[in-house]
Structure 1
Amino acid sequence: MKSRDKILIIGGYGTVGSIVSRQLAMRYPSKVIIAGRNKDKAVHFIREHGLSASAIYMDIEMGDFQEVRFDMIHTVVNCLETMDMSFLLECINLNINYTEVGASFETHKRFFELSEYIDNGQGLVIPSVGLIPGLSNILAYNGAKEFTEVREIHSYVMLGLGESHGIDSIRWMLKKTNSAFKIKTKKGKVSVRGFTNPKSTRLLNEKRGRAFYLFDFSDHHIIPLFVDVEAVDTRIAFDSRLVTKLFHLFQKTGILKWYERLNPKQFKRVLDFLPIGSERFALQVEIMGCDSLRMSQKAVYIVTGDNEALATATVTSFAAELLYKNTELKGLKHIEEILDFRELVKYLEKHNITIKNERGYENNTVQPSGKPRDYGVIG
């Protein structure tokens, strides 16, 4: 029996955190501790779902974690977007395994700043897990291994407007919709802005294309760190083509600057009230390059499901289990470096999240059957 055998889930009753808490509490009864700024909510959540878990008060932003029994914690799963350093440093210092959901590169850079310190410890740290970044990086990394030369990697995420989104994710989206950032192109680094540069792409599970717009998810910053690629970017669309177009028009006319100042709670009420969109999501990653014969090739991976938060949480739970079962690895590791991809595919399938791909010459990516093949049958 481990002297430290608890899994601490920060924000464990939020939109993503609640799913992580249920998944891990079912797998590891009595081992999960759900932490947040409202302990009563955590207690109610545990009772409502009949979980074998405990609850504590914790405010990571205010540095208030007096109720945390560090001597009991084996693995920490942070489900909040945060710039916290003090709690992270405490975990590193005490050799506690750590992972977190983080969509922005600003949060990801904290780990690079501490990389030497992390690598000198005995704990294992996995930054930025979830759907995008996280799964998008995994697909890019695994797909690139099939090429001798990688020229371009493009990620496309379609989000369902009918899904119930958390306050923190809405706050982050509002902040990023009008942000300026840089992307890597064949002509070098280029400054762009969110919801610009439309590109029509057909998702493998759809019959016609839709417009996707540049967006500052952190995966396009992280992928070039592991893959030698000439150009990489990430684009976004909503399942409603009309709403996607409206966001682009708001960007062009400057209305998005006003949207940034909206109260996330008010914006959430509008989204929850409007009868538009669905809960379905899709993440498609396209890798273009050359094979060993110098022939231009293209590989396309797609992840589909009915709940983006579920996909984000499931990848997070997978990462948490890697940490909890780990006995050998230590230091700073990205999830794409250490996972077994086929094990991840099986893990996601249990929650009705599927990964498929197509591969072929750059102008003919469909397999001879005309249908995408499950990743599991591709060598």
Structure 2
Amino acid sequence: MTTVNSRTTGRVLVVGGYGAVGSTVTDTLAEWLPGHVVPAGRDEVKARRLGGVRVDVGDPDGFREVLDELGDVSVVALCVEPEDAGLARICLERGIHLVDVGATHRLLDEVTSLHEMAAGAGATAVLSVGVAPGLTNLLARRVNDAVGGAERIDLTVLLGAGERHGTDAVRWTVAGLGEPVTARARRVPLPGFGVRTAHPFPFSDQHTLRRTLGVPEVTTRLCLDSRSLTASLFTLRRTGLLRGARGARQQQLLTRVFSRVHLGGDGFAVRADAYRGERHATLSLTGKGQSRATSLVAAHVVRTLFMQDVPAGVHHLDQMAALADLPEQLAAHGITAAD
């Protein structure tokens, strides 16, 4: 396996550096790596005000020009989700590390297909960076190891409905309600929230982990801290009104409502259960602020790529040995393990 030497020079370009996730990534890295962080975004006035540059993820030629102008970018943190893997390709072919907080399974697969190219260029991309995917991947690896190779893994995610998420995150969640599912809802005890009904949801981790861990059956389920809102949303999903082309307008309306109405708190919980025969292992994490947690995970990954030797190629978070102790590192930020 090719290993990339640590880089303590160069700069980190945070694309989406003043958004819901990117602003915390920028601020955190500015403390850890002073003088090395450049925020970027579509609004040139905001970007310049923060000492950054303008980047539009829909303009790959413009992105190349920015990399050329800066000249010494060693890591790109992609905190907004582009339409395709074009920006990832541009980074990796130049030997620039990439940290991608994207959560769409199709896009993650597209970036994963660049593994050989990245390895040949001496670059590393880390995917599944956040809470789900992300922390769920790390918990899944641990419970899988605890049972000696799971036959089935169940992941459960509870999100605070009162948190103010970015528009992209809200739109992604609403779109997920329009996708068909086959698994059943499950009653799950979650630390700090009691027993909740969690519903199958198309998080990318359940697809990724079947490959990275070799587990034949992985299902991720979602609930919100508001029981009534959880019930309403998944009742709406069962009607089929959010599916297909006819559901596009309903999804737009629901996205606007979610962006303005905040019912509940900002706590979150993730739980992983692994089963092999009669063996069962479970682990949970809880914290405040899912967007903040995603940002902290991303910042830790960036710092690792910037400072340590890492394997070249495209890897998901659960495949990075250098980040295996990330849950323990996050305890300092109030994200803690729970029974």
Quick check: 1:297 aligned with 2:242?
A: no
1:142 and 2:142 matched: yes
Deviation at 1:144, TM superposition (A): 1.1
Q: Which residue of 1 aligns with 2:201?
A: 215
Residue 249 of structure 2 corresponds to which residue in structure 1? 261
Distance 1:85 1:70, change over 3 A: farther
Greater relative contact order (Cα < 8 A, sep 6+)? 2
Indicate which of 52, 58, 61 corresponds to 1:61: 58
The equivalent of 1:366 in structure 2 is none
Show the counterpart of 1:41. Answer: 46
Map of 1:351 onto structure 2 = 333
User: In 2, are the aligned partners of 1:164 and 1:272 still within 8 Å (CA)?
Assistant: yes
Cα distance in 2 between the residues matched to 1:268 and 1:174? 6
Q: Which residue of 1 aligns with 2:267?
A: 280
Q: Write the letter of the residue equivalent to 1:131.
A: V
Task: Look up the match of 1:49.
Answer: none
**What letter is aligned with 1:77?**
A
Three-state SS of the structure 2 residue aligned to 1:350 is: helix
* Equivalent residue, structure 1, for 2:27: 22
* Cα offset, 1:146, TM superposition: 1.9
Measure the CA separation in 1 of the matches of 2:98 and 2:324.
23
CA distance, structure 1, for counterparts of residue 310 and residue 251 of structure 2: 45
**Offset of residue 279 of structure 1:** 0.7
CA distance in 2, matches of 1:231, 1:93: 34
CA shift at 1:119, angstroms? 1.9
- Hey, what's the Cα distance between the residues in 2 that align with 1:22 and 1:232? 35
Letter in 1 for 2:214: D
Give the helix-richer structure, 1 or 2. 2
CA distance in 2, matches of 1:259, 1:307: 30
Aligned to 1:173: 173
CA contact 2:93–2:121 (8 Å) conserved in 1: yes
For residue 324 of structure 1, the aligned residue among 271, 293, 306 is 306
2:294 corresponds to: 312
8 Å CA contact 1:154, 1:285 repeated in 2: yes
TM-score (norm 2): 0.89
Whole-angstrom CA distance in 1 between matches of 2:264 and 2:236 = 19
C-alpha deviation, 1:230, in angstroms: 3.2
Give the structure 2 partner of residue 234 of structure 1.
220
One-letter amino acid of the structure 1 residue matched with residue 55 of structure 2: M
**What's the Cα RMSD here?**
2.3
Aligned residues of 1:13 and 1:21 also touching (Cα < 8 A) = yes
- Specify the SS of the correspondent of 1:256: coil
| Secondary structure, aligned partner of 1:249 | helix
State the AA in 2 paired with 1:227: L
The C-alpha deviation readout for 1:226-274, integer Å capped at 9, x for no partner, is 223232101111111111111121122233346642575x656534554
Q: d(CA) in 2 for partners of 1:24 and 1:101?
A: 15
Amino acid at match of 2:211: L
Matched, 1:5 2:4: no
Contact 1:286-1:299 within 8 A present in 2 as well: yes
Q: Which runs of 5+ in 2 are unaligned?
A: 1-5
Aligned to 1:152: 152
2:3 is aligned to: none
1:308/1:67 Cα in 2 relative to 1: closer, same or farther (>3 Å)? same
Distance in 2 separating the partners of 1:179 and 1:92: 31
Contact 2:318 2:324 (C-alpha < 8 Å) held by counterparts: no
Q: Contact 1:162 / 1:272 at 8 angstroms: preserved in 2?
A: no
2:164 counterpart residue number: 164
- Tell me the CA shift for residue 173 of structure 1: 1.3
Larger radius of gyration: 1
Q: Deviations over 1:168-203 (max 9, x none)?
A: 1111112111113xxxxxxxxxxx26xx73211111
Quote the offset at 1:322 in angstroms.
Answer: 1.3
User: Normalising by structure 1, what TM-score?
Assistant: 0.80
Call closer, same or farther: CA 1:91–1:263 in 2, change over 3 Å: same
Distance in 1 (CA, whole Å) between partners of 2:37 and 2:332 is 21
CA distance in 1, matches of 2:23, 2:173: 20
